[in-house]
Structure 1
Amino acid sequence: MSRLYRRAQTTPSSPALAVPDEDGWHELSCAELADLVSSAATGLVGLGVAAGDRVALMSETRVEWAVSDLAILSAGAVTVPLYETSSVEQCRAILEDSGCRLALTDQAATAERIRSAGDVDVLVFDDGGLDHLRDAGGADDGAAGDGGADHGAEADRRAEALAPDDVATVVYTSGTTGRPKGCVLTHRNLAWTTTQVRRHLDAVLSDDGSLLQLLPLAHIFARLIHYVCLDSGVTVGFARDTRDPRGDVRAYRPSLFVGVPRAFEKVYEAARAQAEGPVRRRIFAAAESAARDWSTAGGRPGVPLRARHLLADRLVFRRLREAMGGRVRHAVSGGAPLAEDVVHFFRGAGLPILEGYGLTETTGPATANAPEATRVGSVGTPLPGVGVRIADGEILVRGGNVFQRYHHEDARGDDFDGEWFHTGDLGELDSDGFLYVTDRKKELITTAAGKNVAPAPLENRANRHPLVSQTMVVGDRRRFVAALVTLDEQELSRFAEEHGVDLDDRSPNDDETVRAEVQKAIDAANELVARSESIREFAIVDREFTEEAGELTPTLKLRRRDVAEHFADVIESIYA
C-alpha cells in the first residue's frame, strides 16, 4: 500500500485507472485514486472493521472492485474475493470458512446471494456502496476528544503500521479437484511478486501503456497483473461489459492484452469463422501457414516467406490487430495451457503472446516467457528469485511468492518439503531453464490396466479442430480411454450446410458424417501417445460445458468431477 501512496505524492497527476463514461473513459490520477482508497478505508474503520477482519468482495470487474480491495488492505483488513458467478452454496462455504462479517458487492442480485449464504452486512456498489463508506468515515457524534472516534487518523495509523508479514488476503482455490481451500497471502507475498514480475517483464510494461482489465479480479492472476500495472505506470481501464468487450477493446485501444487461453482461442475462432466460402477459407489457411512459418523462422525469414507474410498481413493479420484495438504490443496468457498453433498464429500476426505459469499458492505468476526469451509451448523461465525444480515428475516452487499456509492451518503441511511447495502439476525443465507443464498430477487417469494417462495434451490437441469446442478425456479405472466432445455451434452449422447434413431430427452423435469429422480430431490427438494411452471411443454430447452448470471454473478450466457426474449416463453408454 505504501507504493500507491508514494506514487500519489511523486506523480500525482499520472493516470492510474480509466473508468468508462458517456464520452469514452475518464481517467483517475494516482492522487485521485489514493484519495478514494483512503476515504473508503476510513469508512471501513467507521463501520467497525478491525485490523485482521476478513471482508468479502464479490463483484464483476469494475473500478469499485479495485478501490475496495485497496481500501480493505489499507485499513489493515483482509480481502476475501468471491467470483460474481459463485452460487449460494459456494458463497456459504467461503463465508463460513473465512469468518467474514461484511461483504461488498456490485448489484442487488449478488447481494441477495450473499445474504442467503450467511449472516453478513452487505454494501452494494449500485446502491451507493462507496458513498456509504465515505459517510461512515465521518467522526462519531461526539468530538474526538470527548469519546468520539477520529476514523481518518485510525485509518492512517493502520496503513503506516502495515507489516510485510501481515495477512493481506485469503484467496480460495477454484476447486477443480475438490473443496476450495483458502490460501493465506501476506503483504510481502503481493509486494515481492509484483516487484519480480516487473523485473521479468520490464520490456512489456511501459509508463505510457494501457490495459483493459477483462478478467475477474477475484482470480489471483488478474489481481496480481492489476497490481503490477498500478506499480509500473500502466493505466488500467475497465470495460462496460466484460462478457462482450469487443467494442470497448476497439475503442480503448490497449497496448497490453491479458487473458486466459479461451479468450485468445475465441479471437482466433472468430477470425477463422469470418472466412466464409471456399476462397476466403483458402486465404485464411494460407495466412495460418505463413504465421506459423514466420513464428518459427527465428527472426530470419527468407524472401519467399516475407512475400507470403506481407500478403497475409494485408488480407488477414491487419484486421485481427484492428479488432484488438490496433495498439497491442504484447499479450499475456495464464491460467491454463494455450495450444501452440494459436500462439504461432498470433505471433505471426504481430501479436506475440507470452505464456506464464503459476497458482493461487504462488501469488499468481511463478514463471513466464519474456519478449527477449520465449519458447512456444513452454511457460517460460522462473521469475527472479523464484526457484523451480522437478521431483518425480512434479513441479516444485520456492520463493517469496509462495503462500504462507492454508486458512485454519497453523503451519505449512504435507504440500511442503522444507521451503519447496509441491504444486501438484507435472512438468519438465529444459537445459535453459524453460518450464513445460504437462498436466495436473491429480488429474492423471489410471486405466484398469494400470496405465497412467495425462488428459490435457489429448484434450488440447483435439480442441484444435475447428468443429470441436471442448474435450474431456475419461477412463479412470476403465478398460480403455474415451472422451466426451462438445461442438462449436457456428462451425457445426457451417459444416452441416456444406456436407448436406440434416440435424433437425437427430443428434450430431448419431450422424456418421459428423462423427467421421470429429474422429479426425481424435486421430490427431492420438498421434501424441502410445496406443495404450489413446482415445478408443468418444461421444458427442448435446451441449457445451458451462460455468453456469458448475462444469467450468470462472477461468474456464474443467471441473472434471462435475462434468462426469452430469454426463454419467453418456460415459456409461461408452463402456456398456
Structure 2
Amino acid sequence: MSLFDTLFDLSCQDPHRPALCDSQQSLSYGELWPQIRGLAWRLEDAGVRRLALQLDNGLPWALIDLACALANIVVIPVPHFFSAQQQAWLLQSSGADALVGPARDGWQADHPLTLLGAELTLWRCQPAQVPALPEGTAKITYTSGSTGQPKGVCLSWPHLMRVCHSLAERVAPAGVERHLTLLPLATLLENLSGLYVPLLTGACSRIPSPVELGFSGSSKLDPMILAEALTRWPSHSLVLVPELLRLLVGLRANQPDLAGEVRFIAVGGGKVAPALILRARALGLPVYEGYGLSECGSVVALNGPDQMKVGSVGRPLAHCRVSIALDGEVMVEGATMLGYLGEESTAGEPADLQIATGDLGHLDAEGYLHITGRKKNVQITAFGRNFSPEWIEAEAQICPAIARIVIFGDGQPANVALIQALPGTHTQLAQQIEQLNQQLPDYARIHHWLPVALDQHPGLLTANGRPRRNEIYHHFSRQIDQCLTQGLTGETS
C-alpha cells in the first residue's frame, strides 16, 4: 500500500488520530488528507514543475513536500546548512521554476499559499537552463559531499516507498506511535524516517522548529533547550547523528528521566563507537546504529529490537542486497538512485542496478554489515600497517572533551591527530587521549596531537560540518610535519 493510500484510508477510518503537530497546532489524519490534496491542486494549477523548498522544520514543510509528491511535482529540498553560494548553485543547477522560502534576487512573487492560517509566498522564475531529469524523478536531494558544489541525486517515489516500507518493518517491534524530528527535514534521512514512515504506520510526527530544539545557525546547539524540548514533546522514536547521540548521553547521565518514553533511537550519518552505544544502552537509551547514503535512497542497513549487534550497522533492509567487492568495498543492489542531475542517467530500474558506495566493510556470518571506513581514506603507516582513520575517530567519540578529530598517519612512522576540543576542556584532553590509546593497537594509536579550531578556517568543513580531510591536511601540513619531527604542544606518548 502506498503512503497516499494509507493517508486516505486513515482519513476515513480513524479521522481523529493525530498525524502531524508542531508547537502551534496539530493535524489529524482526517484533516491531513484534504490539506495535501487541496495544496496539490493549487500547485498544479500554478503550473509548478520543479519546486525548491527552503523552510525550517514545521507543518508547512511537511505539507508542501507531500503535496508535491501527490501532484508529481519534483521537490528539491534546500538544506539550511548549505552556504549561500551552495544554495544559489542548487537553485541554478536544478532548473527549479518555483520556490517556497525567503525572497531571492531574480524571483518574482506569484501565488500566495495559505497554509493553516499562515500565508507563504510562492516565488517563480524562468530558469536559465532546465537540465533533463531521469524518468520518474520525484525528489532531487543534494549531497554536501567533499567539494564546494553539491551533487543532485535523483530519486523516484517508488524507490523511496520501498525504503520506507523496509524501515517500518525493521522498527515495528518498538511500537512507535510518536516521533520527534530533531534533524532537518531537508535531510533525506529525517525526511523518510521522520515524516513518511510515521505517516505510513499511522503514527504522529512532531515537528518543532530548530529554534525550539536549541539550534542556532548550522551547527550550534543549546543542550538545555534540547533537554526542555525532549521533555515538552515526549516521543517514542528519534533519529540522531553521532554528535547528537553524544550530547543525549551526557544529558541522560545528569537527568535519568530524560527521554524516558523513547523506544527506538536510530543513529547514522557517520561511524559510531561501539563504546558510545553501550554507554547509551547502559543509561536505558535504546540506540540502534544504521547505515545508508543518498544515492541508495538513504537507509540501507539498520539494527532493530529483534536483530541487534553492537559494532555493526545492522542487517540490510528487505528491499536491498549488500555484497562486498574483492577490495572490501560495500556494494548495494536493489536500492540505487536514478542518476545524478546533469549526468547521463542510469538505464533500468533501481532494483536491477548496483552501486559502489565508496565505503569499506564486511558482512559477518550472521549477515550483519560492519563499516570500517572510506575506501579513499585508507592510510598505510611507514611500517606497512593499513587502517581507516574513521575507525579511530569514531572510537574518540567516548572522549567528552573532543568536539572534532581528524587523524593522519599515511606513510608516517606515527599518527598525528588534529583535535578541536569543546570549550573549557583543553586540560582534560591529554588524560582522555591516553585512556583512548590503551584501547587501540599500537599502530592505530594517537602518538601526537595538535589543538586546532577547524570551524574557524573556511573550506575545511563541509556544509553540514564534516571534515574535508584533504583540505585539512594541506592547510596544516607544515604543523603536522613539525609535530612528527620536533614535537609540539599537545604531544602525547
Q: Secondary structure at the match of 1:12?
A: coil
Report Cα offsets for 1:215-269 as digits up to 9, x if no partner: 1111111111121111101100122423243212102111112211111101223
Comparing 8-17 and 248-257, the one that deviates more: 8-17
Q: CA deviation at 1:390?
A: 0.6
Report Cα offsets for 1:13-33 as digits up to 9, x if no partner: 221101213xxxx33111212
**1:559 lines up with 2:468 in the alignment:** yes
Equivalent position of 2:451 in the other structure:
540
Q: 1:77 aligns with which of 62, 73, 79?
A: 73
Q: CA deviation at 1:122?
A: 6.3
Give the counterpart letter for 1:61 in structure 2. Answer: N
Equivalent position of 1:397 in the other structure:
332
Tell me, in whole angstroms, the C-alpha distance in 1 between the residues paired with 2:455 and 2:381.
Answer: 24
Equivalent position of 1:352 in the other structure:
286
Tell me, in whole angstroms, the C-alpha distance in 1 between the residues paired with 2:54 and 2:413.
Answer: 44
Q: 1:269 aligns with which of 250, 274, 285?
A: 250
Comparing 218-227 and 12-21, the one that deviates more: 12-21
Q: 1:323 aligns with which of 249, 258, 262?
A: 258
Q: 1:135 to 1:467 in 2, by over 3 A?
A: closer
Which runs of structure 2 are paired with 1:133-172 in the superposition (5 Å)?
166-172=136-142
Tell me, in whole angstroms, the C-alpha distance in 2 between the residues paired with 1:440 and 1:417.
Answer: 24
Q: Secondary structure at the match of 2:418?
A: strand
Comparing 370-379 and 91-100, the one that deviates more: 91-100
Give the counterpart letter for 2:34 in structure 1. Answer: D
Q: Secondary structure at the match of 1:20?
A: coil
Q: 1:71 to 1:570 in 2, by over 3 A?
A: farther
Q: 2:375 aligns with which of 441, 444, 449?
A: 441
**1:258 lines up with 2:239 in the alignment:** yes
Equivalent position of 2:190 in the other structure:
222
Q: 1:104 aligns with which of 100, 106, 110?
A: 100
Tell me, in whole angstroms, the C-alpha distance in 2 between the residues paired with 1:59 and 1:565.
Answer: 36
Higher normalized helix content (fraction of residues): 1
**1:68 lines up with 2:2 in the alignment:** no
Tell me, in whole angstroms, the C-alpha distance in 2 between the residues paired with 1:434 and 1:249.
Answer: 31
Tell me, in whole angstroms, the C-alpha distance in 1 between the residues paired with 2:476 and 2:108.
Answer: 39
Equivalent position of 2:220 in the other structure:
none
Q: 1:121 to 1:362 in 2, by over 3 A?
A: farther
CA RMSD of aligned residues (A): 3.2
| Contact 1:40–1:134 (Cα < 8 Å) also in 2 | no
Q: TM-score w.r.t. structure 1 length?
A: 0.72
Q: CA deviation at 1:133?
A: 6.7
Tell me, in whole angstroms, the C-alpha distance in 2 between the residues paired with 1:463 and 1:350.
Answer: 19
Q: 1:439 to 1:43 in 2, by over 3 A?
A: same
Report Cα offsets for 1:292-319 as digits up to 9, x if no partner: xxxxxxxxxxxxxxxxxxxxxxxxxxx3
| Contact 2:273–2:395 (Cα < 8 Å) also in 1 | yes
Q: 1:537 to 1:257 in 2, by over 3 A?
A: same
Q: 2:151 aligns with which of 176, 181, 192?
A: 181
Q: Secondary structure at the match of 1:203?
A: helix
| Contact 2:112–2:122 (Cα < 8 Å) also in 1 | no
| Contact 2:99–2:122 (Cα < 8 Å) also in 1 | no
Report Cα offsets for 1:81-114 as digits up to 9, x if no partner: 1211221210122122211122112xxxxx25xx
Equivalent position of 2:4 in the other structure:
2
- Paired residue total: 456
Tell me, in whole angstroms, the C-alpha distance in 1 between the residues paired with 2:150 and 2:472.
Answer: 17
Equivalent position of 1:231 in the other structure:
200
| Contact 1:346–1:353 (Cα < 8 Å) also in 2 | yes
Equivalent position of 1:213 in the other structure:
181
Give the counterpart letter for 2:192 in structure 1. Answer: L
Q: Secondary structure at the match of 2:22?
A: strand
Q: CA deviation at 1:519?
A: 4.3
**1:488 lines up with 2:416 in the alignment:** no
Q: TM-score w.r.t. structure 2 length?
A: 0.83
Q: CA deviation at 1:366?
A: 0.8
Report Cα offsets for 1:157-182 as digits up to 9, x if no partner: xxxxxxx9621101111213664221
Tell me, in whole angstroms, the C-alpha distance in 1 between the residues paired with 2:429 and 2:179.
Answer: 42
Gapped runs of 5+ residues in structure 2?
A: 124-133, 216-224, 486-493
Tell me, in whole angstroms, the C-alpha distance in 1 between the residues paired with 2:61 and 2:118.
Answer: 14
Equivalent position of 1:499 in the other structure:
none
Tell me, in whole angstroms, the C-alpha distance in 2 between the residues paired with 1:452 and 1:366.
Answer: 26
Give the counterpart letter for 1:410 in structure 2. Answer: E
**1:20 lines up with 2:31 in the alignment:** no
Tell me, in whole angstroms, the C-alpha distance in 1 between the residues paired with 2:168 and 2:324.
Answer: 26
Q: 1:222 to 1:441 in 2, by over 3 A?
A: same
Q: CA deviation at 1:2?
A: 2.7
Q: Secondary structure at the match of 1:351?
A: coil
